[in-house]
């Protein structure tokens, strides 16, 4: 069994991926690392504090645990990135280069997520193809696009087995999001469950691609387990599940909570969202390694509300 190390394991995605990978591979084979933590949900297995900007600390851990696979998730996301673009660029790029370099001779397989943020205002908004115009206008999107180019470069020049997905906004009940433009689609559930109204930072008609966390975790593990010959794209794969606007998700929640109300107070994140696609064509991922989502909007809403109702203590 290959030993796995996860960088950024205490985040929204990292926590859920750590739980699932430990379930599948055995908890001692999955080393969770983060700048902070461990958070309770992943405190049951090996954990190390790691600042991924510290290369020697990273290499010490690769050696200590004989790591063969790295899932590198640490990043500054879109909204937070605009508050300190220089730091977002540094963290997102330097950390990726450290991990890719390790892929040349120490690590056998790497996962690194990209995002729909690689697209920009010039990209076709509907059914955005795998290969198309990419003109991101956030530091986050620029760093993800540059990252994709580096991933393909390291694969082509050095044979690094790097795999990547362009996630849409991820929505789960176990964890909270960490500073993105799609975060509203998680927060809205917490407000609905608490019986509060919701103030949305996007306007009511802004349609963005989204995905339930279980689908995102499944896509990630399916891609990592796919036979090498099936992974033809070494920049990053489009993956999709559903698309909706704040008013559409509000209506779906109102089927369960008829008194629930959303008010729209767009801020700087509106402009970020306007540069992103509304719907994504993920036919290449479906054809290459069999990607298929399980959750659509009604199932997402039902599942989120059911779990949060059980877990939140007032």
Please report whether residue 46 would count as binding ligand AKB according to CB under 6 A: no
Query: Least separation, in Å, of the C-beta of 223 and ligand AKB?
Result: 17
140 catalytic, yes or no?
yes
Between 144 and 183, how does the x/- string for binding to ligand AKB read (CB under 6 A)? Answer: ------------------------xx----------xxx-
Chosen residue from 116, 145, 186, 202 binding ligand AKB by CB under 6 A: 116
Place of tokens 């943020």: 117
Chosen residue from 91, 100, 117, 219 binding ligand AKB by CB under 6 A: 117
Nearest-angstrom CA–CA distance, 46 and 184? 32
Q: Which does 209 bind (CB under 5 to 8 A by kind): ligand AKB, ligand NAD, none?
A: none
Q: Which does 14 bind (CB under 5 to 8 A by kind): ligand NAD, ligand AKB, none?
A: ligand NAD
Nearest-angstrom CA–CA distance, 114 and 230? 19
Site for ligand AKB in 202-231 (CB under 6 A): none
Query: Residues near 133 by Cβ (< 8 Å), separated by ≥ 6?
Result: 119, 120, 122, 123, 124
Q: Which residues bind ligand NAD (CB under 6 A)?
A: 7-8, 10-14, 34-36, 50-53, 73-75, 77, 91, 113, 115, 167, 169-170, 177-180, 182
Chosen residue from 4, 30, 74, 77 binding ligand AKB by CB under 6 A: 77
CA angle 38, 311, 48 (to 5 degrees): 5
Q: Annotate 160-214 with DSSP letters as a single string.
A: --EE-EEE-EEE-SSS---S-SSTHHHHHHHHHHHT--EEESS-TT--EEEEEHH
CA angle 19, 25, 31 (to 5 degrees): 60
Q: Which does 78 bind (CB under 5 to 8 A by kind): ligand AKB, ligand NAD, none?
A: ligand AKB
Q: For the chain, give the longest Cα–Cα distance.
A: 58
CB atoms within 10 A of CB 108: 12
Query: Least separation, in Å, of the C-beta of 118 and ligand NAD?
Result: 10
Query: Least separation, in Å, of the C-beta of 140 and ligand AKB?
Result: 6
Please report whether residue 78 would count as binding ligand AKB according to CB under 6 A: yes
Query: Least separation, in Å, of the C-beta of 74 and ligand NAD?
Result: 4
Catalytic residue among 71, 140, 154, 237: 140
State both tokens at 241.
């599940």
Candidates 151, 154, 117; CA nearest to 274 is: 117
Tell me which residues are annotated as active site: 140
Binding site for ligand AKB (CB under 6 A): 77-78, 115-117, 140, 168-169, 180-182
């Amino acid at each position: 069994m290959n030993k796995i190390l996860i960088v950024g394991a205490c985040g929204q995605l990292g926590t859920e991926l750590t739980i699932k990978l430990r379930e599948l591979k055995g908890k001692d084979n999955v080393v969770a690392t983060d700048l902070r933590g461990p958070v309770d949900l992943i405190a049951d297995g090996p954990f190390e504090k790691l600042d991924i900007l510290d290369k020697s600390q990273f290499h010490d851990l690769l050696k200590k645990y004989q790591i063969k696979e790295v899932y590198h998730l640490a990043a500054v996301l879109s909204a937070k990135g605009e508050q300190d673009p220089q730091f977002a660029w540094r963290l997102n790029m330097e950390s990726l280069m450290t991990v890719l370099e390790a892929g040349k001779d120490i690590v056998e397989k790497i996962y690194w997520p990209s995002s729909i943020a690689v697209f920009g205002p010039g990209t076709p908004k509907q059914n955005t193809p795998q290969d198309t115009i990419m003109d991101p206008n956030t530091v986050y999107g620029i760093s993800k696009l540059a990252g994709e180019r580096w991933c393909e470069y390291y694969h082509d020049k050095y044979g690094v087995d790097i795999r990547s997905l362009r996630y849409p906004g991820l929505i789960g009940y176990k964890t909270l999001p960490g500073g993105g433009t799609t975060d509203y689609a998680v927060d809205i559930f917490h407000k609905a469950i608490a019986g509060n109204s919701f103030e949305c930072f996007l306007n009511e008609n802004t349609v963005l691609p989204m995905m339930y966390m279980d689908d995102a975790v499944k896509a990630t593990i399916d891609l990592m387990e796919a036979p090498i010959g099936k992974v033809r794209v070494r920049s990053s794969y489009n993956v999709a599940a559903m698309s909706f606007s704040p008013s559409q998700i509000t209506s779906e929640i109102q089927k369960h909570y008829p008194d629930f109300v959303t008010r729209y107070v767009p801020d700087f994140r509106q402009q970020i969202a306007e540069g992103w696609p509304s719907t994504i064509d993920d036919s290449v991922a479906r054809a290459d390694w069999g990607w298929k989502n399980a959750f659509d909007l009604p199932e997402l809403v039902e599942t989120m509300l059911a779990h949060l109702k059980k877990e939140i203590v007032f």
